[in-house]
Structure 1
Amino acid sequence: MPTTMLDARDRDLIAARDRELPISAEHVSQASRPSALRITDLRVACLDKVPFKSTIIRIETNQGLVGWGEVRDQASATYALMLKSRIIGENPCNLDRILRKIRQFGGHGRLGGGVSGVEMALMDLAGKAYGVPAYALMGGQFRDRIKCYADTPGERDPHRMAERLKGRLDAGYTMLKMDVGVDLLDEVPNALVGQSGAMIDRFTPHPFTALQISQAGVDHLVDYVRTVRAEVGYDVPIAVDHIGHVDLKSCIRIAQALEPFGLAWLEDLIPWQYTEQWKKLTDSTTTPTATGEDIYLAEGFRPLLDAGAVDVVHPDPATAGGLVETKRIGDLAEEYGVPMALHLAASPVATMACVQIAAATYNFLALEHHGADVEYWSDLVLGFDGPIIAGGYIQVPDKPGLGFDDVNLDLMRECLDQSNPIFFDDSSVWDSDVALDRTWG
């Protein structure tokens, strides 16, 4: 096209192109170059009462970006620190590459806490590097607010439990959970067969404790739940946890007896790995069943799903492997027509990681909140105008990474675990912890 036919704007663009002016590096932000991002340090802080003992992970980079994660409640900080030498110098945006190196150091229960917490921090960093929320790195957003269900620890008096649950409703929660099980029976005559309540063994799997519940015990639990339902009402979903270490037949009797009360689910009645027992339990009752908080990686859920042995998968992202792996669990369960709820007992750091998962997972039900009685809980992170949970929901933030601006160091220092007072101390002793990690010859 002849130059005379170009408008002024086109002529200016061509002139600029022809000049080929170099762009000075001093005018380009060096804090958002994902390809050059490298991990330089990993440190931890050991806290308590947030709501339980918990380890906060801080991963630092050469560009000044910081990623935050959290080891699962009541797990060892060592589970995260031992991974430091395996990730220093890596680009946190290469998430799959790093996880293929460190996944072998995780395991079921609290053993998954290190890998899962580090993955949270990596996702926080990757989101910040690319300037997007972590949910965008997992395929995008299905919902803009996340339903929370409030956990309420056990009360021997059902009227007191009902009072506490009604307090949760007054705070705006639309789903609840309470503890109902053998801990309510140790003072009830003839309720337990095989052991006294004081001798209940927490470290022996349920089938091997020789502990059974009698008809008197079942009747007591039925009366308890009936009283709670009468006072709280039937219009709110209530899940039940902490039945206790009793055998399969006792679990079946309890599940069947509680059917009239329309419970949302019965959780972790028996260890998750006994697939056939879960199948028998689930087939025996119309009360939904849920398990999964101690399962590490999606592959651990497949036997339960293949067998149709559970009605709700219930991973804890702080055990399951972090954000991406928990999203995989949800997607896997969706193929079987099974919904996913998220177990959690954590500070706002892991909670906001769960918010990202919930936003990105199609078959998500609700996220557990275990800190409803911790007044300062929302203040542990910065970047919210009010409480993180409002009206029983968390609004999904559009900020990069996990969605909060920073952690509240002063408040976290006040929550320091006095039995293990580490507060982002120098961790260079872990820099040279190397071994032949390869799992093949």
Structure 2
Amino acid sequence: MNKFKHLFQLLKDRPEPSISPKQPTDLPAGDRRSFLRNSALGGLSMGMLLDGKVEQEMEFLTQKVQKASKPSDLKITDLRVAHLVGVPFGSPIIRIDTNQGLVGWGEVRDGASPNYALMLKSRLLGKNPCNVEKVFKEIKQFGNHSRAAGGVCGVEMALWDLAGKAYGVPVYQMLGGKYRDFVRLYADTPEGKTYEEFAQNMAKRRDQGYTFLKMDFGIGMLADQKDALVGAKQWSVRQQWNDREPGKFGNYANTKHPFTRIQVTKKGLDQLVEHVGRVREIVGYETPLAADHFGHFDVNTAIQIGQAMEPFRLAWLEDMVPWFYTDQWKQISDAITTPTLTGEDIYLKEEFIKLIDARAIDMIHPDLASSGGILETKKIGDYAEEKGIPMAMHFAGSPISMMANVHCAAATENFVALEHHGVDVAGWEDIVTGLKPIADKGFVRVPDKPGLGVELNEEVAKRYLKKDTPWFAPTDSWNSRDSNDREWS
């Protein structure tokens, strides 16, 4: 009897372990304690075989109890990065380590510097990653619009991954639960040199199961066409993204749309109409078809192009002018019936709120790796939902960032579709483990595993490592803070 009394006392005094995914997390705290004790006692018949050695019996009885993660004591001990390229663009992967062996994965937005994340390390060390919103509020001052938000957003993804793993639940559950089990994807489609080749590419997308497509067209297509454009000869209109092309009037890629003064002629509009019309014939009208990458021109030309496209019932016209021209967006939206959309470069909810309250756009389009991360993007979506505005989501990164998007999309009511730029990247899905396939017939099944639901497959991911860069090398030079971060006096 003394041995049993000793054993019961050890069980009684043992600290409550963290709940693993296979344990009943829906029980009240007191019932969970009873469950764990009863589960341990259920093995007494085996434990007693250890010939009265109580400490060994306790070790045997509790060998399957998770001891590593106690959320209240979880602390960040390190942050490192590995810069992947070709997935489909450059995507620095963040790894956050903790004192309990849990690892959180995040991702800096495509095309952004890993330093945007590394500079945050000194603000993270020693913090409990489960306090996601508190930590986010402390670091969000170091983000800004577009790629400058990449570090803050990537860290926020990794914090949610850690919090989910610590509590044994998927991220969407911590956001209030899910509205859907599957997240719809939309895919860009390579155009091809001929319409026949384009038709083959579209057929390939249909065979892959995609039910929502996007195409690119704009004034770059008219660059060599006689009398199609006014005022374009001195600009490199084909170089919408190449900011190293100087041009005679300046850098076209870095000149805001209204300041190029390029116009489209009737002949140019007719050629765009013919092109989109043929694409629509190939796609058919059953499949939603969105459009992007029109070029740099003023609000008047945007309205002309928008009105010309109305017969084709496009799903949306994206980023026709920069997102911060709220009044111009309202001019465009009021003048055409095709839905308008912007937002992939906006950081935080405040600028989305301005566009929504002004009824300047018909849909919002945050990129979670720029908009503030998982929770901020859900807040953006929730605000838009209250105003009757749908949300599509921009994404062009690795499966790590995709899964952050998937959890947010699952938990947001007004979500429509998530972009997938890595459809044609060989081996893209193998960069992570835990979910296979990721994209299945144009949808992603929302995972029920803790955190983001995937782990980095280091063997495969190393194939995409940027040349002459280290693989999660030590980052001790970023350990110390060298400024006062307080934003008020």
TM-score, normalised on structure 1? 0.93
What amino acid sits opposite 2:201 in the alignment? Answer: R
Q: Which of 229, 236, 239 is residue 287 of structure 2 equivalent to?
A: 236
* Structure 2 equivalent of residue 74 of structure 1: 111
Q: Structure 1 CA distance, aligned partners of 2:148 and 2:363? A: 23
Q: Structure 1 CA distance, aligned partners of 2:234 and 2:389? A: 35
Per-residue CA shift, 1:342-385, capped at 9, x if unaligned?
A: 0000110000000100110000000000011112111110012x
Question: Is 2:481 the counterpart of 1:430?
Answer: no
> Post-superposition shift, 1:132?
0.4
Q: Structure 2 matches for 1:169-180, cutoff 5 A?
A: 169-180=206-217
Q: Structure 2 CA distance, aligned partners of 1:176 and 1:250? A: 25
Task: Report the CA distance shift for 1:217/1:422 in structure 2 as closer, same or farther (over 3 A).
Answer: farther
1:183 and 1:244 in contact (8 A); partners too: yes
Q: Structure 2 CA distance, aligned partners of 1:65 and 1:255? A: 50
Q: Structure 2 CA distance, aligned partners of 1:131 and 1:283? A: 48
> Post-superposition shift, 1:162?
3.1
> Post-superposition shift, 1:157?
3.6
* Structure 1 equivalent of residue 228 of structure 2: 191
2:231 and 2:263 in contact (8 A); partners too: yes
Task: Report the CA distance shift for 1:61/1:364 in structure 2 as closer, same or farther (over 3 A).
Answer: same
1:158 and 1:225 in contact (8 A); partners too: no
Q: Structure 2 CA distance, aligned partners of 1:18 and 1:421? A: 55
> Post-superposition shift, 1:154?
5.0
> Post-superposition shift, 1:155?
4.4
Q: Structure 1 CA distance, aligned partners of 2:91 and 2:415? A: 25
> Post-superposition shift, 1:156?
5.5
What amino acid sits opposite 1:389 in the alignment? Answer: A
Question: Is 2:318 the counterpart of 1:318?
Answer: no
User: Match of 1:425, SS?
Assistant: coil
Which consecutive residues of structure 2, in runs of 5 or more, have no partner in the other structure?
Answer: 16-58, 238-251
Provide the alpha-carbon RMSD of the alignment.
1.8
> Post-superposition shift, 1:32?
2.0
Question: Is 2:360 the counterpart of 1:309?
Answer: yes
What amino acid sits opposite 1:397 in the alignment? Answer: P
Q: Structure 1 CA distance, aligned partners of 2:131 and 2:153? A: 16
Per-residue CA shift, 1:276-329, capped at 9, x if unaligned?
A: 000000011111111000000111101111110111100000000100000001
> Post-superposition shift, 1:231?
1.7
Q: Structure 2 CA distance, aligned partners of 1:153 and 1:104? A: 38
Most deviating of 426-435 and 110-119 = 426-435
Q: Which of 263, 266, 271 is residue 220 of structure 1 equivalent to?
A: 271
Q: Which of 335, 338, 351 is residue 287 of structure 1 equivalent to?
A: 338
Question: Is 2:78 the counterpart of 1:63?
Answer: no
1:222 and 1:257 in contact (8 A); partners too: yes
> Post-superposition shift, 1:204?
1.1
> Post-superposition shift, 1:190?
1.7
Percent of aligned pairs with the same residue? 54
Q: Which has the larger radius of gyration?
A: 2
User: Match of 2:13, SS?
Assistant: coil
User: Match of 1:301, SS?
Assistant: helix
Task: Report the CA distance shift for 1:20/1:40 in structure 2 as closer, same or farther (over 3 A).
Answer: closer
* Structure 2 equivalent of residue 119 of structure 1: 156
Per-residue CA shift, 1:242-295, capped at 9, x if unaligned?
A: 011111111111110000001000000100000000000001111111100000
Q: Structure 2 matches for 1:66-145, cutoff 5 A?
A: 66-145=103-182
What amino acid sits opposite 2:466 in the alignment? Answer: D
1:55 and 1:71 in contact (8 A); partners too: yes
Q: Which of 37, 40, 50 is residue 77 of structure 2 equivalent to?
A: 40
Task: Report the CA distance shift for 1:19/1:422 in structure 2 as closer, same or farther (over 3 A).
Answer: closer
1:156 and 1:184 in contact (8 A); partners too: no
Question: Is 2:258 the counterpart of 1:207?
Answer: yes
> Post-superposition shift, 1:153?
4.6
Q: Which of 164, 182, 185 is residue 148 of structure 1 equivalent to?
A: 185
* Structure 2 equivalent of residue 23 of structure 1: 13
Which consecutive residues of structure 1, in runs of 5 or more, have no partner in the other structure?
Answer: 1-14
Q: Structure 1 CA distance, aligned partners of 2:14 and 2:132? A: 31
* Structure 1 equivalent of residue 425 of structure 2: 374
Question: Is 2:290 the counterpart of 1:300?
Answer: no
Q: Structure 1 CA distance, aligned partners of 2:312 and 2:411? A: 32
Q: Which of 430, 451, 464 is residue 401 of structure 1 equivalent to?
A: 451
Q: Structure 2 matches for 1:385-400, cutoff 5 A?
A: 386-400=436-450
1:108 and 1:294 in contact (8 A); partners too: yes
2:73 and 2:128 in contact (8 A); partners too: yes
Q: Structure 1 CA distance, aligned partners of 2:198 and 2:354? A: 36
Q: Structure 1 CA distance, aligned partners of 2:298 and 2:220? A: 15
TM-score, normalised on structure 2? 0.84
What amino acid sits opposite 1:62 in the alignment? Answer: N
Q: Structure 1 CA distance, aligned partners of 2:215 and 2:129? A: 39
Task: Report the CA distance shift for 1:21/1:45 in structure 2 as closer, same or farther (over 3 A).
Answer: closer
Aligned residues: 424
Q: Structure 1 CA distance, aligned partners of 2:481 and 2:189? A: 41
Q: Structure 1 CA distance, aligned partners of 2:150 and 2:156? A: 10
> Post-superposition shift, 1:36?
0.3
> Post-superposition shift, 1:202?
0.8
* Structure 2 equivalent of residue 411 of structure 1: 460
Q: Structure 2 CA distance, aligned partners of 1:434 and 1:97? A: 21
Question: Is 2:386 the counterpart of 1:335?
Answer: yes
Most deviating of 407-416 and 355-364 = 407-416
Q: Structure 1 CA distance, aligned partners of 2:229 and 2:358? A: 31
What amino acid sits opposite 2:487 in the alignment? Answer: T
Q: Structure 2 CA distance, aligned partners of 1:91 and 1:320? A: 23
2:223 and 2:232 in contact (8 A); partners too: no
Task: Report the CA distance shift for 1:250/1:157 in structure 2 as closer, same or farther (over 3 A).
Answer: farther
**Higher relative contact order by CA 8 Å / sep ≥ 6: 1 or 2?**
1
2:202 and 2:282 in contact (8 A); partners too: no
User: Match of 1:199, SS?
Assistant: coil
Per-residue CA shift, 1:164-202, capped at 9, x if unaligned?
A: 122111110000001111221112222221123862301
